[in-house]
Amino acid sequence: MQALTEEQDLIISTVRRFVDKEVMPVASEMEHRNEYPHDLVRQMKEMGLFGLNVPEKYGGAELNTTTFAMIFEEISRGWLGLAGVLGTHSVMCDVIAGFGTEEQKRRFLPHLATGEKRGGICLTESNAGTDLQNLSTTATREGDLYRINGSKLWITNARHGNTFLLLAKTDPQAKPAHRGMSAFIFEKGAPGMTVSRDIDKLGYKSVETCELHFDNFPVPAENLIGGVEGHGFKQVMTGLEAERLNVAARGLGIARAAFEEAIRYAQRRVTFGKPIAEYQTIQNKLADMATHIEASRLLIYSAAEKRDRGERCDLEAGMAKLFASETAAEVAFEAMRILGGNGYSKDFPVERYYRDAPLVVIGGGTNELQRLIIARNLLKKYKDNG
């Protein structure tokens, strides 16, 4: 990994101080109340965190992928739910910056960078999660606008956000299906879009996750990303490649937080006359936890650097997401075992890490899917032509 520039180091240290002083003291209590972190979001706006991956010419920070991952690690170390407010917003920014028309970039990116406009991505449906080509939401052209009909599930920022990326079918008869799919930017306000129930989740609380329903909801034709129908699937999948690294970094943050809590506790908790950190069983756990965390970090940085060179990183991003998220789940559970009954208590944050960790295993493309992506790329890389 290349050394950080002075500017990158300043950004990361600023985020770290924000997490230590503002986030960690309130995260567990707010998460238990399922309370939306309005004040913390305001502070993130002021810090410019909503424009991390927006090009400088549109008012963003235009950080490289490695620095971006480091910031998400720090925020997730404090509170995964808070990282969720930024996560899918960043995917939307990636897609607009990469595929939007110049007019779309000028119209949306400066406001997305400040957080004035913020939101996420509307992809998942009841029968289309891992298999996005099976979605049924349609966008029908009527003059200067499209009419959206259908429903979306698991939409992060749906209630408090105001601007979203939507994937829908503009040609439902297209074969293969992805050739008939287009991506749009839409804003709240017009009739025909309803934010219904908030999904009650095991963890990842405080950031809302909702269902959206569209009934002839109008979206201006000028909001068709790239201005041409039929390219939405490729545009979204490119954005999701970056999201896998984002989710991997979140997993790293959870794992690091759980490990730091466990190793601190192990040095303070005394049984049979000495700290439990002096027992070999606990030392073995700590050694494995730390090793897996460091391996996760290196996988993330390797994939991020490849992406920054403009190269495809499907294989590396899949490996990083798979390993880092599984590490988050394993380390959170091991931390709970080290804390014993205290790990199961809401008096300590480990129970929150344990509940949050499954999301990074499932979200951003399930780890079962990551294994398929990894295997497919390995078979291409090591193709037997004998």
Distance CA 335, CA 227 (A): 50
368 is catalytic: no
φ and ψ at residue 90, rounded to 5 degrees: -65, -35
For residue range 68-78, what is the model confidence (pLDDT) as tens digits? Answer: 999 999 999 99
CATH no., domain 234-381: 1.20.140.10
Boundaries of every domain in the chain:
6-114, 120-230, 234-381
CB 363 within 8 A of CB 243: no
| pLDDT exceeds cutoff 70 at 2 | no
| pLDDT exceeds cutoff 90 at 130 | no
Domain 120-230 has CATH 2.40.110.10: yes
More confident residue, 203 or 1: 203
Out of 31, 241, 243, 316, pick the active-site residue: 243
Distance CA 181, CA 137 (A): 10
- Amino acid 19 reads V
Q: What percent of the chain has pLDDT over 70?
A: 99
For residue range 20-45, what is the model confidence (pLDDT) as tens digits? Answer: 999 999 999 999 999 999 999 999 99
| pLDDT exceeds cutoff 80 at 1 | no
Q: Could you tell me the fold of the domain covering 6-114?
A: Butyryl-Coa Dehydrogenase, subunit A; domain 1 (1.10.540)
pLDDT at 14 (0 to 100):
96
Confidence of residue 374 (pLDDT cuts 50, 70, 90): very high
| pLDDT exceeds cutoff 80 at 386 | no
Q: How many helices (H) and strands (E) does the chain have?
A: 11, 9
Q: What integer best gives the mean pLDDT of the chain?
A: 95
Average pLDDT over residues 132-146: 95
pLDDT at 133 (0 to 100):
87
Q: Which residues pair with 183 in a beta bridge?
A: 167
CB 327 within 8 A of CB 292: yes
pLDDT at 5 (0 to 100):
82
Q: What is the DSSP string of 165-222?
A: EEEEES-TT-SSGGGGEEEEEEEBTBTTEEEEEEP--SSS-SS-EEEEEEEEEEEEGG
pLDDT at 385 (0 to 100):
85
pLDDT at 7 (0 to 100):
82
For residue range 141-151, what is the model confidence (pLDDT) as tens digits? Answer: 999 999 999 99
